[in-house]
Chain A
Amino acid sequence: QITLKESGPTLVKPTQTLTLTCTFSGFSLSTSAVGVGWIRQPPGKALEWLALIRWDDAKRYSPSLKSRLTITKDTSKNQVVLTMTNMDPVDTATYYCAHSGHLQTSNWYFDLWGRGTLVTVSS
C-alpha cells in the first residue's frame, strides 16, 4: 500500500525559505519509471504543479517558479524534500506531494496523493 505524507512549517515569514518533506512508503524511488511530485493549491483556487523528481534523479520544475525551487530525494529515508526560497503571502497554499509510477513517457499522471499541508506566509 502506497502512502505519502507532507510535513513542514505551517507558518513562514515573507522572504524566508520554505522546506517541505514528503515521507512515503510502499514504493522505492530507485525503481524505474517512479517519481514524486509537488503540487500546491491556494485557498479556493486551482491546483498548480511545482516540481517532480524521477527515479533516475532527473528533475523538472514549473517554469514560472524554477528560480525559487529545489527538489531532492533521499532514497534510503524514503523522502523527497522541496525548498522554495523568498516566500511571499501569495505562496499561501496547501502543498501536496504525489506519486507517479508511469514516467517512461510524457503520458504520466499522479496516481496517489498525500493529504497535504497548509502553509501560511505572513509576518
Chain B
Amino acid sequence: QSVLTQPPSASGTPGQRVTISCSGSSSNIGRNTVNWYQQLPGTAPKLLIHSNNQGPSGVPGRFSGSRSGTSASLAISGVQSEDEADYYCGTWDDSLNAYVFGTGTKVTVL
C-alpha cells in the first residue's frame, strides 16, 4: 500500500476551484519536493507539477502546487471539463529508498 494518502475523489462545477491533498511523512514529503502527475482516461501519466510548485512548459496556469510540513496540495483554479482525470502525487522516500506515489484522486467535473 502507498505511503502517500490522497482522497479517492474530488469534484467541482466548471470554473470552481478544486483542491487535492497528499499526506505523507517526515521521510518523504517532509524532506523531499513533491511532484504531481495527471493521467487522462486511457493515457499514460504526464508530469503536471514538479518541485512542489513548478509547472513544466505547456501546463496551464490554473494548476498550482504547494507543500507544508508533511503534506502537499494540488489546486485547479477554474476547473474545466478537460481536467477530468486521475491525479497522483509522488516523491522520494529517504527511509524506504524508493520513489513513492500517492493513492490517486479522480477528479470529476460536474
Total A-B contacts with CB atoms under 8 angstroms apart: 63
Contact partner of B100 (CB less than 8 A), chosen from A49, A60, A112, is: A49
Residues of chain B at interface, number, CB under 8 A: 27
For window 96-114 of A, CB contacts with B under 8 Å fall at: 96, 106-114
Bound state CA distance, A96 and B2, in angstroms? 18
* A49 and B46 contacting across the interface, CB-CB below 8 Å: no
6 residue pairs, one from A and one from B, having the closest CB atoms: A109-B35, A49-B99, A47-B101, A107-B33, A106-B92, A46-B104
B24 touches A (CB below 8 Å) = no
Q: Which residues of B contact A (CB under 8 A)?
A: 2, 31-33, 35, 37, 43-47, 50-51, 56, 88, 90, 92, 94, 96-104
Bound state CA distance, A60 and B97, in angstroms? 8
* B92 and A107 contacting across the interface, CB-CB below 8 Å: yes
Chain A interface helix/strand/loop/mixed:
loop
Nearest Cβ in chain B — how far from A4, in angstroms? Answer: 10
Bound state CA distance, A61 and B99, in angstroms? 9
Bound state CA distance, A107 and B93, in angstroms? 10
A62 touches B (CB below 8 Å) = yes
- Give the interface size bracket for A toward B: 20 to 34
Tell me which residues across on chain B come within 8 A of A62, comparing CB atoms: 98
Contact partner of B32 (CB less than 8 A), chosen from A106, A111, A115, is: A106
When each residue 57-98 of chain A gets 1 if its CB lies under 8 Å from chain B and 0 otherwise, what string results?
000111100000000000000000000000000000000100
